[in-house]
């Protein structure tokens, strides 16, 4: 499969500056991966339903606005979709801090760029706790069941950052993005953006069902130990 977009369309996809061929994988891997997504995703969603309701109420009490935050993300083949998370920031964060949404970086800045920090002024009180515990990611399970993301894969990117990808990293867009991935178990929020892109590309090249299972186990341990959380 080749990525070959020639224009940016908000309702469809994002332009890719290079042609990238998907590393081949057997249909057995694809079937097993989808079965795992549906089985584990459904169980996690049912088990976490009371937590989802409680967190939604706490978010609304803490700050005005919807408890759910949705954002356009770039997935497989550059296609855009709505990505769901619990809201961790003030509703008017973009208006308060417009400089944080310029997404204008030099090549050297992308090597040390961190999108999340321990003292992000946009975060609400509840939002800080949600980020540290990764509970803000629970609504991602809806994206998993809808087939827009997998349990394991590269984290979906925001459209504004696609232009900063190097040619060798664009392979991440040939596979379905994930709730967690190699980058998340290699440093989570303390990993610079360029290192995340590198880890995503490595996963796309080396992915296997066994690797997916290992990443899921390491994700569980990282969340429990709060490794790399901010």
Contact 130, 136 (CB under 8 A): yes
Cα separation, 142 vs 146, whole angstroms: 6
Cα separation, 197 vs 212, whole angstroms: 18
Contact 161, 123 (CB under 8 A): no
Q: Using CA of residue 211, residue 213, residue 218, residue 219, what is the dihedral sign?
A: positive
Contact 132, 230 (CB under 8 A): yes
Q: What is the pLDDT of residue 16?
A: 65
Q: What is the pLDDT of residue 146?
A: 96
Q: Using CA of residue 30, residue 36, residue 37, residue 39, what is the dihedral sign?
A: positive
Q: Using CA of residue 86, residue 91, residue 96, residue 98, what is the dihedral sign?
A: positive
Cα separation, 22 vs 37, whole angstroms: 21
Per-residue pLDDT of the chain (230 residues; tens, 9 = 90+): 444 433 344 446 776 666 566 777 788 999 999 999 999 999 999 999 999 999 999 999 999 999 999 999 999 999 999 999 999 999 999 888 888 888 888 888 888 888 776 678 899 999 999 998 889 999 999 999 999 999 999 999 999 999 999 999 999 999 999 999 999 898 766 788 999 999 999 999 999 999 999 999 999 888 877 665 54
Contact 68, 87 (CB under 8 A): yes
Q: Is the pTM of this model over 0.75?
A: yes
Cα separation, 86 vs 229, whole angstroms: 16
């Amino acid at each position: 499969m080749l990525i070959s977009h020639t224009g940016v369309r908000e309702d469809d996809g994002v332009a890719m500056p290079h042609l990238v061929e998907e590393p081949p994988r057997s249909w057995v891997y694809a079937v097993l991966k989808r079965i795992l997504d549906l089985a584990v995703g459904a169980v996690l969603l049912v088990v976490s339903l009371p937590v989802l309701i409680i967190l939604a109420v706490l978010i609304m009490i803490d700050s005005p606005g919807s408890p759910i935050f949705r954002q356009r993300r770039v997935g497989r083949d550059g296609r855009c979709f709505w990505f769901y998370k619990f809201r961790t920031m003030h509703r008017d964060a973009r208006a308060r801090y417009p400089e944080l949404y310029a997404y204008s970086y030099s090549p050297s800045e992308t090597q040390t760029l961190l999108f999340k920090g321990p003292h992000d002024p946009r975060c609400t009180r509840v939002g800080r706790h949600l980020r540290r515990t990764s509970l803000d990611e629970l609504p991602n399970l809806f994206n998993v069941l809808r087939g827009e993301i997998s349990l394991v894969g590269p984290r979906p990117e925001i459209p504004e950052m696609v232009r900063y990808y190097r040619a060798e990293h664009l392979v991440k867009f040939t596979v379905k993005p994930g709730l967690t991935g190699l980058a998340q178990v290699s440093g989570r929020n303390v990993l610079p953006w360029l290192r995340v892109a590198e880890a995503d590309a490595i996963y796309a090249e080396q992915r296997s069902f066994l690797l997916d299972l290992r990443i899921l186990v390491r994700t569980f341990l990282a969340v429990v130990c709060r490794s790399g959380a901010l």
